[in-house]
A and B are shown apart, each in its own frame.
Chain A
């Protein structure tokens, strides 16, 4: 045991020393909410990055260099995200994975752009692409793609006559809520109420009671699972007989726990959950993840971020350089790269295209039943 510890210490100190003095390592940053409300998502992202990097390092590293990961916890807060961005730039990262929320991603974007550091995030807010930073790559799909799909499902498939759209105030959720409202109206659907809740306040009975009087067919919520689960539970408590349709960020095991019995019958709209990804590379990495961390990834978000990382590493190898501008130019033309979450194709503004969404219905035992694709 003692010898093991001793060797470990030597290995650690050489790792530290080499990262300080030698040029045979490169640094990749992870900016994610490791603590706070969305901690389990942030930890998922950080673990998946570790999995991919460890595999790469074991196979000789990136262009012969060992990859060193630096993780910075942004707590899903904009202020902390700005600090993280500076920290990761100072740590010498050439690329940063994250963050989980659009708000924290947006707050860090400019710093990475100015320092020519590549960034890939799952943030779905449409505004992330609008600044046209060549450093930014979205590894998920934008709100506007999701809202069209959601509106089609609610208006055409389910024929809801009276739809309530709720969001919180965050850049992602508010954006998705507005986009969904617009998409529903474009399809001739009827949004009877567009409301906002304050994330984390826990007590949503007042706004739900107001909604009850409107007798809606469906309540669509574009926020996060921590609020979505409670909304659903309190909706059931107030006996509001409307279908609950949750946007992508409700897709988390904690949604089921918070909603309790009311989780049954809830509809969620998201990219395919990790379990349902049909690709061979997905099966391999998800099995690896489970073996190493003894749990499943918390949601699809960790997986899309892993794809962002894999695409960047692919870019490094194809351009045979760590020049971020060259890598970015290459990635802007990347087409059908074999991703865990399906083919990865970037548009020339860093937008990932080729969105696939699914509708799930939560069953009594908490499992997901795929309703439509």
Chain B
């Protein structure tokens, strides 16, 4: 039983990271019907930025909560700016173009960011300091949970709840939902669609940045091509949950993390990916729009 619960914690931790990253994919898709392939690389970028901000401002030894919070804030702002820049340069000029052009542009942007990271920080692995967060851990009858895991779980839950409220209860959130349903109609209602898309990129990038920082703090080793690894998993999570749906991305991320941990734990690592993609196929057969995906009737 304790092994099962430990796997549950393992799965939820990585699942929360997938969910945070998946939100970026799903928000952009929901509004623009575009798969932002560069999102995973923005996540990798944020981990590098976070590491640089930390070492430049504070040096390796100076860890305190205030410093960590400053690192999170500065990094989120820088990455949000990068996200807006990405939209301006790679997506806005192609908004009227066929969808395929935008997807190709997204793939191109992904390579640009990835190689940009390699040019700035070099091809070697960069490594986060070991004790950014206290190394406290709790042993609950054989189930080990670390302080870092706790922070990841709690903060991800809080952020997701905040995002849910932001989308569903605020005026901007209403405008975002309206834009997602029909951009032209939203324009007619006086919604500034460009501004909404900018907000989407800011929020999505910030969540991705926090996900990237967590990945850096928890797993510590950064490689310039790590964006693909987390990006691909988060993208699958977004599809499982129903791309375009925000609760779907959260659910998809957690489900993917748990599923992976359980397959690895109870069957084998060899089969983990096979089963993950099998799950994806089954879900898409049963519910083509994902678990919580919106049912859109295509107008013929």
Contacts and interface: CB of A to CB of B under 8 A. Distances in A.
Interface of A: 34-37, 39-40, 43, 195-198, 200-203, 205-207, 209-210, 212-213, 226, 229-230, 233, 237-239, 254, 257-258, 260-261
B11 interface: yes
Contacts of B139: 239
Given A239-B144, A254-B125, A260-B220, A212 B6 contact: yes
B265 A206 contact: yes
Contacts of B225: 36
21 contacts: A34-B123, A37-B125, A43-B124, A197-B269, A202-B215, A202-B221, A203-B219, A205-B10, A205-B13, A206-B7, A206-B264, A207-B264, A209-B7, A209-B10, A209-B261, A226-B125, A226-B221, A226-B223, A229-B221, A254-B127, A257-B127
Nearest to B149: A237
Interface residues of B, number: 39
Contact of A198 (B215, B223, B261, B269): B269
Main secondary structure of the interface of B (DSSP, over half): helix
Residue of A34, A210, A254 most packed against chain B (CB within 10 A): A210
B131 interface: yes
Contacts of B89: none
Given A202-B219, A226-B125, A239-B144, A210 B265 contact: yes
A207 to B, nearest CB: 5
Contacts of A195: 268-269
Contacts of B76: none
Given A209-B10, A230-B219, A258 B3 contact: no
A196 B265 contact: no
A373 B237 CA distance: 49
A260 B127 CA distance: 10
Main secondary structure of the interface of A (DSSP, over half): helix
B220 A205 contact: no
Contact of A206 (B118, B223, B226, B261): B261
B75 interface: no
Contacts of B144: 237-239
A71 to B, nearest CB: 13
A209 B144 CA distance: 10
Nearest to B10: A205
Interface string B133-167: 00101010000101000000000000000000000
B229 interface: yes
Contacts of B251: none
Nearest to B266: A210
Contact of A196 (B11, B219, B262, B270): B270
Given A39-B124, A207-B264, A254-B221, 7 more contacts: A36-B123, A36-B225, A202-B215, A202-B221, A202-B229, A209-B265, A257-B130
Contacts of A237: 137, 144, 146
Contacts of A43: 124
A207 B3 contact: no
Given A36-B225, A206-B10, A258-B127, A213 B3 contact: yes
A35 B123 CA distance: 5
A1 B283 CA distance: 68
B229 A205 contact: no
Contacts of B213: none
A261 B130 contact: yes
A213 B143 CA distance: 11
Interface string B213-254: 001000111010110010000000000000000000000000
B167 to A, nearest CB: 29
Residue of B122, B137, B220 most packed against chain A (CB within 10 A): B220
Interface string B159-188: 000000000000000000000000000000
Contacts of B122: 39
B260 interface: yes
Contacts of B131: 260-261
A40 B135 CA distance: 29
A197 B269 CA distance: 6
A255 to B, nearest CB: 10
A260 B130 contact: yes
B220 A258 contact: yes
B31 interface: no
Given A212-B3, A239-B144, A206 B221 contact: no
A351 B215 CA distance: 42
A230 B3 contact: no
Nearest to B14: A203
Nearest to A166: B269
A39 B146 CA distance: 31
Contacts of B226: 200, 202
A206 B276 CA distance: 15
Contacts of A198: 269, 272-273
Please name the 3 residue pairs, one residue from A and one from B, whose CB atoms are nearest each other, closest first: A260-B130, A35-B123, A206-B264
B123 A230 contact: no
A201 to B, nearest CB: 7
Contacts of A260: 130-131, 220
A343 to B, nearest CB: 33
Nearest to A238: B144
Interface string B253-294: 000000011101110111011000000000000000000000
